[in-house]
A and B are shown apart, each in its own frame.
Chain A
Amino acid sequence: MSLERLRTDILILGSGGAGLFAALHALKANPDLEVTVATKGLLGKCGCTRMVQGGYNVALNPGDSVERHFMDTIEGGKWLPHQELAWTLVSTAVERVRELENEIGCFFDRNPDGTLHGKAFAGQTFDCTVHKDDLTGIEIINRLMEQVWARPVRRLEEHRAVAFIPAADGALAGVLLIDIRTGAFRFVAAQAVLLATGGGPTMYRYHTPSGDKSMDGLAMALRAGLLLRDMEMVQFHPTGLLAGPDTRMTGTVLEEGLRGAGGHLLNGAMHRFMGDYDKELERATRDVVSRAIYAEMRAGRTTPNGGVYIKMGHLGPEKVAKQFKGMVERCRDCGFDLAGGLVEVVPTAHYFMGGVVCRPDTSTEWPGLFVAGEDASGMHGANRLGGNGVANSTVFGGIAGDVMPRWISANGGHRAPDERVLDAELARALHPFGCKPGNLNELREKLLDTMWGEVGVVRDREGLDRGVAALDAIEAELLVTGLADEGRAFNMTWHDWLNLRSLTEVSRVIALAARKRENSRGAHFRSDFPEPGDLASSRFTVARQTAAGLDITDAPVAFTHVRPGETLLDKVAAE
């Protein structure tokens, strides 16, 4: 079996906001280091940074403060965030946005007088979201990728990471990858590795993230025995497009602003149902609206494809077409009239708050491994604020790029990989070619339905038990479902198989963490434990794969900046 061996100083997995910022900062910190970015798709073109619509939360404007941004993040996260991580996020965001504008070349929307425009966004007490229309992510990632291309960064595009490889003494030696274009394996030895593949809960029937995402990074971290935190926390967006079966359009997000602007949600009987659930009607928070839609669906009051309708036409189709140009055009291209007609929508899995446990300097418990972006955890707690996603990836990606060169000069050196682990991981990735071809599509459908039905918007003990049992069965079936070995070059079906394995493994952790949390916080709702529980004694879940199985425990949140019932804003006002 062919295995090419490469050597680099810093290996970055992922080319979103986190990965690209890390590359730029690492080269700036030490231009003598060789930096390699490996990414599953094309550099900067896969993943979700590019898909950011809303914008970037940052306390830049006069009258705003990082304390205000911090309190919104903590309150939004239902007191579960790791407060040092959240503080690092909000306080570093200021410099990061200036860097994006002044050094990377992003141009964010201005007020008429030329100052930076901050827009209002859900869950924020100040209009602090910096943006470029509703296509902020494209501006950020396009400018970042240009900067990376312009520098001597080694690019491994269409390379899928499959495993961390330790040295014989357990230290990190490097990463095993598959070159998707040729189907060949590459082992990349590195002194430091950044995990920045982006989470992305694509194991749900309805999901918004980029279609290439499959939680590979977290599956690798799990197998390496790393601590994972907040794994029950899956954020659902209330309005994903529902276009029926066999279309990749289904699940893609219709923006928050449609409800904010006065859009109505109607059930299959054309009843505007939000009044039955919340006095804020359609403008209630994402979690409340998602649960209301889910309840209508469970009660069978649905549209032909099994969701509800969003209606904008009463606001004036021309006005809607102007205000929401991008959304209206996207719907039109796909055959739907958002401006004047009814469009079917459904709650859709949007963002994963859980991930690898890390410190504010992005280091993990495994020396030499760093983590940033959606693969990391603790910044958002039980819920991520809109506008904190791209802030998170760029802030911590940049920090990782600052920190890794320093770490290398103090601890660096390449380590020889444990050849037995390397062999085992190669065999693991080739597993499907040794089995009789079977029905992968049916298994994918089963996984999507299991996670949606049993581990989704509303959870309870019985459903979670059923979910765990179903996931075990899916995994067992996957392991006897093979592929014909008819060429491994750009073999997407092989990668579908590997995607399913990653997703199934991470799904089980989600289900078990959800079973562990016997209360309802933010994105996690248990119908058998609907109360949030005592905030002052809040605990977060921790998961680890051991030789004996999955170990799920919890630990107390440390209120190092502010305690429930307190605020930092009094202090700011007093100063």
Chain B
Amino acid sequence: MSLWRGGEKGRYETYKVPLRENQTVLDVVTFVQRHLDPTLSYRFACRVGMCGSCAMTVNGRPRWTCRTHVSRVATRGQLEIGPLENLPVIKDLTTDMRPFFEKWQQAKGAFVPSQTRGDEIERIRPDSPARIAADAAIECINCAICYAACDTVRWNSDYLGPAALNRAWTLVNDVRDGATSERLQAVAASGGCHACHSHQSCQELCPQQLNPTASIAGLKRRTMWAYLKGEI
């Protein structure tokens, strides 16, 4: 296997790791750090696809390394593992995820309350259309795979990216949220939902099988209506 070593500038180095029956990409990276080169840097936490810390580029595609069995991705027994694309490299296989999370904030990806802890929890039927739309997009774990896979992010560094816009879409459909027009304004601005070219890499590669392209299309429609009605 070859692993990226260094920062933004670096090179791929080759290692030989024994094949095991049960072995994920994270396991082979760990093997290199534990047994072949103790200075190798990578990031992981939960080990089970819940935290979204361990995504890397594996044979050209961004993937969760903890949930990717080596046998599913190795080609002719070989793996090439690098840091996620579209994010600054810290060292070896680790990237700085701050731009990704900053854009989440630019898209107004935080709930704005309209009630307080003193109020009863709102009755919301799970079969209401807005809730169905929000639920369909909510299970994002912010692993940045969609962001790393996105051609628009690659070409336009101002583009907010699929995950941030997908979160904005869930909030636009959350009837409890108190900042819909500010959020629609934020995502309608330059670098927002209208910058998406619908290349669909995000929905092809999302490990949670979410469809950010559809969420962004929803935002495009919603911002257009809000504009026509003079709301934004």
Contacts and interface: CB of A to CB of B under 8 A. Distances in A.
B117 interface: yes
A147 B142 contact: no
Interface in B128-147: 134, 138-142
Interface in B25-68: 26-27, 30-31, 33-35, 38-53, 66-68
A490 B38 CA distance: 11
Interface in A226-260: 243-249, 252
Interface stretch (B102-110, B192-200, B224-232): B102-110
Contacts of B115: 102-103
A46 B120 CA distance: 32
Contact of A114 (B50, B105, B123): B123
B74 interface: no
A109 B134 CA distance: 13
B126 interface: yes
A254 to B, nearest CB: 10
Most B C-beta atoms less than 10 A away, residue of A135, A146, A496? A146
Contact of B176 (A105, A210, A333): A105
B44 A491 contact: no
Interface size class of A (residues with CB under 8 A): 35 or more
Most B C-beta atoms less than 10 A away, residue of A47, A135, A334, A489? A334
A210 B45 contact: yes
Contact of B47 (A107, A110, A248, A484): A248
B75 interface: no
A244 B105 contact: no
Contact of A491 (B41, B48, B167): B41
A492 B117 contact: no
Interface residues of B, number: 69
A271 interface: no
Interface in A17-62: 41-42, 45-47, 50-51, 60
Nearest to A155: B98
A50 B51 contact: yes
Contacts of A247: 20, 22-24, 27
Contact of A492 (B42, B47, B71, B105): B42
Contacts of A490: 41, 90-92, 94
A330 B50 CA distance: 10
B225 to A, nearest CB: 24
A99 interface: yes
Contacts of B121: 60, 97-98, 101-102, 116
Contacts of B21: 244, 335
A115 interface: yes
A124 B105 CA distance: 39
Interface stretch (A137-145, A373-381, A521-529): A137-145
B66 A248 contact: yes
B142 A142 contact: yes
A34 B33 CA distance: 38
Contacts of A246: 20, 23, 27, 30-31
Interface string A195-222: 0000000000000001110000000000
B174 interface: yes
Given A50-B50, A181-B90, A490-B92, A98 B126 contact: no
A188 interface: no
Nearest to B23: A247
Most B C-beta atoms less than 10 A away, residue of A46, A47, A114? A114
Contacts of B76: none
B125 interface: yes
A139 B138 contact: yes
Interface string A159-180: 0000000000000000000000
Contact of B53 (A41, A110, A440): A41
Contacts of B66: 248-249
A139 B30 CA distance: 29
Interface string A82-107: 00000000000001111101111101
B113 A105 contact: yes
18 contacts: A102-B115, A110-B123, A137-B50, A146-B104, A146-B110, A146-B167, A211-B44, A244-B20, A246-B31, A247-B27, A248-B26, A249-B27, A252-B48, A334-B67, A335-B21, A484-B38, A487-B39, A492-B38
Interface of B: 20-24, 26-27, 30-31, 33-35, 38-53, 66-69, 71, 90-92, 94, 97, 101, 104-105, 109-111, 113, 115-127, 134, 138-142, 167, 171, 174, 176-177
Interface of A: 41-42, 45-47, 50-51, 60, 95-99, 101-105, 107, 109-110, 112-116, 135, 137-139, 142-143, 146-147, 149-150, 181, 210-212, 243-249, 252, 330, 333-335, 440-441, 483-484, 486-487, 489-493, 496
| A-B interface, 3 closest residue pairs, ranked by CB to CB distance from nearest | A105-B111, A114-B123, A493-B38
Given A211-B47, A248-B24, A441-B35, 6 more contacts: A45-B51, A101-B121, A102-B119, A102-B122, A139-B138, A486-B38
